[in-house]
């Protein structure tokens, strides 16, 4: 690529960064959650026979295929899912179906990795579009986290620190967590995971390195565990030493990675104020990946499963503003409309998860029809060494009291 040109005609020696090329789909990064390769020809998105083609391919495969659909997927994809749920539930569902040769995961890359880790060696996990990554998982690379651990060692606090990694992380980060005596958590069991982690270290010296979502870590310890915002520091991998002094690291109880969900991070305190004015008597229900001020202003806070259960138990005539991904909110609004429950999106701005939405009907049809033809496309396979330690961290989570 040539350099840019000044208005006067002179050429500037400006070259695109690797990240810019990656976002433009002109370069790939094997250590990132993103992917850009998709071999084969996809059916046209306007193909009127797509639904029938998906149905026919799934019928031909029968019990050989098991399709998992994350809550944030499009309705057109969810229609063909054998089970729906959050990422860890789906990975466990896949492990409980050892007779299925193919696991087609309609979600994002880190979820398919977890399914590969938990399923047996004979099963093959397929992600319909390799570009379905996760911006949050991308915010913590293996190299950055290894450098962070070196910083903690230099500050003399690594031996008093237990890593806890959110399920929304790459297999490499899960493996790092397993190697260093830590555990994985979900948004449902973060409190239990953090209680366990702090029990593994000595009193007030003990710390947790929480990866990669700062908001879930902060909200859990402040809302549920009696800590204060002053007990938390944020490690920025793009600054020397994480942007923190050794003394700040020594004084902290929670070392939060500077990562966030691109969807839940969009909600603001203004969103909460505006919806309360717009919808009288509304109950504000948000995911704990939202910012701390949003969580503090909400009426209810919980995981995706908690959100669904809360709405299910809500009385007729109640009004709800939901702070989570739009596909799910629209599906819930439709589900509960005939029960007299009003469900609206927390913000006026449309907010889909762009990478989740890469799994569309053409990609699903292509993946299923390829399997019918005996071709396994877009297989997600975690190497044995990474799988060993990532599985260790996951097993610690499963053993939590």
Which residues sit opposite 154 in a β-bridge?
A: none
Taking 70 as the threshold, does the pLDDT of residue 214 lie above it?
yes
Tell me, what's the pLDDT at 355?
A: 80
Check the CA dihedral 53-54-59-63 and report its sign. Answer: positive
Lowest-confidence region among 17-26, 136-145, 157-166, 285-294: 17-26
Tell me, what's the pLDDT at 2?
A: 38
* Ramachandran quadrant class, 394 (left: phi over 0; alpha: psi -120 to 50; beta: rest): alpha
Tell me, what's the pLDDT at 236?
A: 98
Confidence at 39, pLDDT banded by 50, 70, 90: low
Tell me, what's the pLDDT at 16?
A: 44
Tell me the average pLDDT across 84-109.
91
Say how far apart CA 172 and CA 45 lie, in whole Å: 34
pLDDT digits (tens, 9 = 90+) for 54-79: 999 999 999 999 999 998 899 999 99
Say how far apart CA 110 and CA 245 lie, in whole Å: 32
Residue 389, H or E segment: helix 384-398
Taking 60 as the threshold, does the pLDDT of residue 293 lie above it?
yes
Confidence at 28, pLDDT banded by 50, 70, 90: very low
Tell me, what's the pLDDT at 357?
A: 82
Tokens found for residue 90: 């789906």
Percent of all residues in the chain with a pLDDT value above 90, rounded to a whole number: 78
Say how far apart CA 233 and CA 254 lie, in whole Å: 6
Tell me, what's the pLDDT at 26?
A: 42
Residue 19, H or E segment: helix 18-23
In 3-state terms, what secondary structure has residue 373? coil
- Closest by CA to 371, choosing from 127, 100, 53, 61, is 61
Say how far apart CA 223 and CA 292 lie, in whole Å: 9
**Residues belonging to the chain:** 401
Taking 90 as the threshold, does the pLDDT of residue 20 lie above it?
no
In 3-state terms, what secondary structure has residue 274? helix
Taking 70 as the threshold, does the pLDDT of residue 30 lie above it?
no
The backbone torsions φ and ψ at residue 15, rounded to the nearest 5 degrees and listed phi first, read: -110, 145
Taking 70 as the threshold, does the pLDDT of residue 205 lie above it?
yes
Taking 80 as the threshold, does the pLDDT of residue 35 lie above it?
no
Tell me the average pLDDT across 208-228.
97
pTM: 0.86
Tell me the average pLDDT across 304-308.
94
Say how far apart CA 87 and CA 394 lie, in whole Å: 13
Taking 50 as the threshold, does the pLDDT of residue 15 lie above it?
no
The backbone torsions φ and ψ at residue 121, rounded to the nearest 5 degrees and listed phi first, read: -65, -25
Tell me the average pLDDT across 308-337.
95
Tokens found for residue 175: 């493996």
Tell me, what's the pLDDT at 91?
A: 85
Percent of all residues in the chain with a pLDDT value above 70, rounded to a whole number: 90
Taking 60 as the threshold, does the pLDDT of residue 372 lie above it?
yes
Averaged pLDDT score across all residues of the chain? 89
Lowest-confidence region among 5-14, 44-53, 141-150, 296-305: 5-14
Taking 50 as the threshold, does the pLDDT of residue 92 lie above it?
yes
Tell me, what's the pLDDT at 40?
A: 62
Taking 50 as the threshold, does the pLDDT of residue 121 lie above it?
yes
CB of 68 within 8 A of CB of 82? yes
Say how far apart CA 352 and CA 283 lie, in whole Å: 22
Taking 50 as the threshold, does the pLDDT of residue 13 lie above it?
no
């Amino acid at each position: 690529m040539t350099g840019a040109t000044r208005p006067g005609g002179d050429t500037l020696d400006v070259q695109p960064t690797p990240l810019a090329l990656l976002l433009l789909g002109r370069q790939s990064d094997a250590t990132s959650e993103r992917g850009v390769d998709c071999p084969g020809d996809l059916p046209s998105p306007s193909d009127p026979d797509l639904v029938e083609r998906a149905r026919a391919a799934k019928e031909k495969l029968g019990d050989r295929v098991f399709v998992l659909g994350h809550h944030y997927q499009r309705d057109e994809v969810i229609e063909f899912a054998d089970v729906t749920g959050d990422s860890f539930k789906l990975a466990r569902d896949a492990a409980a179906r050892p007779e299925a040769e193919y696991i087609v995961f309609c979600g994002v890359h880190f979820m398919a990795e977890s399914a590969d880790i938990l399923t047996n060696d004979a099963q093959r996990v397929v992600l319909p579009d390799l570009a379905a990554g996760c911006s949050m998982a991308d915010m913590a690379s293996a190299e950055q986290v290894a450098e962070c651990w070196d910083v903690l060692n230099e500050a003399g606090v690594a031996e008093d620190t237990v890593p806890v990694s959110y399920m929304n992380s790459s297999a490499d980060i899960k493996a790092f967590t397993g190697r260093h005596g830590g555990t994985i958590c979900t948004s449902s069991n973060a409190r239990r995971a953090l209680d366990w982690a702090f029990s593994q270290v000595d009193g007030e010296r003990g710390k947790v390195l929480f990866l990669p979502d700062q908001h879930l870590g902060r909200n859990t310890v402040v809302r549920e565990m009696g800590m204060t915002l002053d007990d938390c520091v944020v490690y920025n991998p793009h600054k020397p030493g994480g942007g923190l002094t050794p003394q700040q690291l020594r004084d902290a109880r929670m070392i939060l990675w500077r990562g966030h969900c691109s969807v839940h991070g969009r909600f603001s305190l203004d969103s909460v104020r505006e919806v309360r004015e717009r919808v009288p008597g509304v109950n504000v229900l948000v995911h704990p990946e939202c910012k701390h001020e949003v969580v503090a202003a909400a009426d209810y806070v919980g995981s995706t499963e908690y959100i669904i259960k809360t709405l299910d138990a809500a009385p007729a005539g109640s009004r709800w503003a939901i702070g989570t991904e739009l596909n799910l909110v629209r599906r819930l609004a439709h589900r509960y409309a005939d029960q007299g429950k009003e469900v609206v999106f927390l913000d006026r701005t449309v907010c889909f998860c762009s990478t989740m939405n890469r799994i569309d009907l053409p990609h699903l049809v292509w993946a299923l029809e390829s399997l019918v033809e005996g071709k396994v496309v877009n297989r997600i396979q975690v190497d044995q060494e990474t799988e060993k330690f990532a599985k260790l961290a996951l097993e610690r989570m499963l053993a939590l009291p």
